Amino acid sequence: MKIDFRFAAVLLYAASAYAQSEATSDAIRFRIQAGGRDQYKLAIPKPIGDGDGSKTVVDVASLDLALSGYFRVLDPAGFLANLAVEGVSINPQDWKNVGAEGVMKARATAYGDDIKYEFRLYEIAKGNQPVLSHDYRGPRAQTRMVVHEWCGEVLRYFTNEDNFFRSRIAFTAQSGNHRDVLAMDWDGSRSAQLTSNRSQNLLPAWSPGGGELAVTSFIGGKPDLYVMPAAGGKLKPISMRSGLNMGAAYSPDGSKIAVTLSQDGNSEIYLLTRAGQILKRLTNNPYIDTSPSWSPDGSRIAFVSDRHGSPQIWVMNADGSNQHLVTYKGKYNQTPVWCPRKDTPLIAFTARDEKLNYDIFTLNVETGEILRVTEGHGSNQHPSWAPNGRAIAYESSRGGIWISTADGHIERQVYRGSAASPTWGPQLPSALAK
């Protein structure tokens, strides 16, 4: 029984990040052209009357809309309009002259400890009457949430699509000789440490509702599977079988967890209940099978197997039948994760090139088409999809966590510092008072 070898190999495949750290008509047009081409040119001038807070509004709105993949936010240095005279209205010609197709305006008014934001959206071709408007009032501390809410309305106006602006990303970070799980808003704000057990905590995975995280932890001296509240707290064990218990993936309905176990001496993929009881063994062969990821309808599971000599991406039905290879290029493909859009049969994964760099790719499971998302910027790995399938988060050798539009055209760093294995959580309900 070669437990040590298998254990090392599965860690390499399923937790490579840890191993490396150690070593309308408009709406129709937007949907068709989504993904970085012919982007809508949007101007976002500073809000009126908000002083230092105006920079937060512009920064948050610019990042939200740029990484949605539909907008090109214009450089404010080129604005010609007299903002003080315009107020929250616009002179369409002044904005047309700088190439803007749309303008987002805002005004802030303080009311004691509260602040009121008046947002207006204009389309230049439709004149000086706003096509969308919304007012929000609440504590200044909620400014970022207010801007996320407004940007979600803007995105829905143009595309009729959901956004990811209220979602969070969990990840792990090295601290001395241990690794903790942290979570942050998708744009890097409000980061918080969730574990404090001074152990190795790996591969966090969100439950579909976002209320809990499954975590692989070495608290007991070997990799066991635990769950914990998404806000942090005590880890509750759900699988402490001999060998490996790691790499959890919740089914879309939240009723089951796919996981890698090696209780019989070889790493295989099993289905567990939420409480950790085994429902079924899905793979059964002398090779390494790991890194399960569910399709958005729950009918299929992508995983990694080296049964053809090197780690490749495979797909099987959720009952373990019809196991078949889906990557035919490259000698080292791993960390598959299925796009959450039911109308988009894409799997994002990490591949290693001939220079031993890692990059993010997507595979269309139906057509076999492969798109390279990252290239020429160090090593990038462990992808995770935004809840609306329009962006991908990943760790990078450049440091921290980066996010790219799904086509790779726009990329931004959202977290600096030690970070690995990012996993993007679901869109959360609005926290704003109604």
Per-residue pLDDT, 26: 41
Q: What sign does the dihedral 367-373-379-382 (CA atoms) show?
A: negative
Confidence label for 54 from pLDDT (cuts 50, 70 and 90): confident
Helix, strand, or coil (residue 246): strand
Could you tell me the CATH number of the domain that includes residue 130? 3.40.50.10070
DSSP assigned state of 430: P
Q: Of 104, 126, 159, which residue constitutes the final position of a domain?
A: 159
Give the count of domains, the chain.
Answer: 2
Q: Which residues contact 345 (CB under 8 A, 6 or more apart)?
A: 339, 364, 365, 366
State yes or no: pLDDT of 2 exceeds 70. no
Helix, strand, or coil (residue 201): strand
Per-residue pLDDT, 53: 77
Per-residue pLDDT, 433: 62
Helical H runs in 74-217? Answer: 83-86, 92-96, 143-159
The answer to whether residue 223 is domain-embedded is yes
Q: What is the pLDDT of residues 81-91, one digit of tens each?
A: 999 899 999 99
CB 258 within 8 A of CB 294: yes
- Residue 428's closest CA among 237, 166, 99? 166
How confident is the model over 398-426, as a mean pLDDT? Answer: 96
d(CA 400, CA 418): 6
Shared domain check, 154 and 185: no
How confident is the model over 167-180, as a mean pLDDT? Answer: 95
- Mean pLDDT across the chain: 90
Per-residue pLDDT, 354: 82
N-to-C CA span, the chain = 60
- Residue 391's closest CA among 411, 370, 369? 411
Shared domain check, 234 and 296: yes
Enclosing domain of residue 420: 3-23+166-424
**Six-digit token string for 95:** 């904005």
Specify the higher pLDDT residue, 2 or 316.
Answer: 316
Specify the higher pLDDT residue, 14 or 391.
Answer: 391
DSSP assigned state of 5: H
**Beta strands per DSSP E along 124-185:** 132-139, 168-175, 178-185
**Six-digit token string for 367:** 């057509």
Confidence label for 356 from pLDDT (cuts 50, 70 and 90): confident
Q: Of 135, 159, 183, which residue constitutes the final position of a domain?
A: 159
Shared domain check, 390 and 348: yes
d(CA 285, CA 328): 20
The answer to whether residue 129 is domain-embedded is yes
The answer to whether residue 430 is domain-embedded is no
d(CA 372, CA 223): 33
Q: What is the pLDDT of residues 118-164, one digit of tens each?
A: 999 999 999 999 999 999 999 989 999 999 999 999 999 999 999 99
Could you tell me the CATH number of the domain that includes residue 317? 2.120.10.30
Confidence label for 434 from pLDDT (cuts 50, 70 and 90): low
Q: What is the pLDDT of residues 269-285, one digit of tens each?
A: 999 999 999 999 999 99
CB atoms within 10 A of CB 91: 15
Shared domain check, 203 and 130: no
Place of tokens 């979602």: 167
Q: Of 126, 159, 192, which residue constitutes the final position of a domain?
A: 159
**Beta strands per DSSP E along 297-418:** 300-305, 312-317, 324-325, 333-338, 346-352, 358-364, 370-372, 380-385, 391-396, 401-405, 411-415
Shared domain check, 217 and 123: no
Shared domain check, 128 and 7: no
**Six-digit token string for 339:** 């796009």
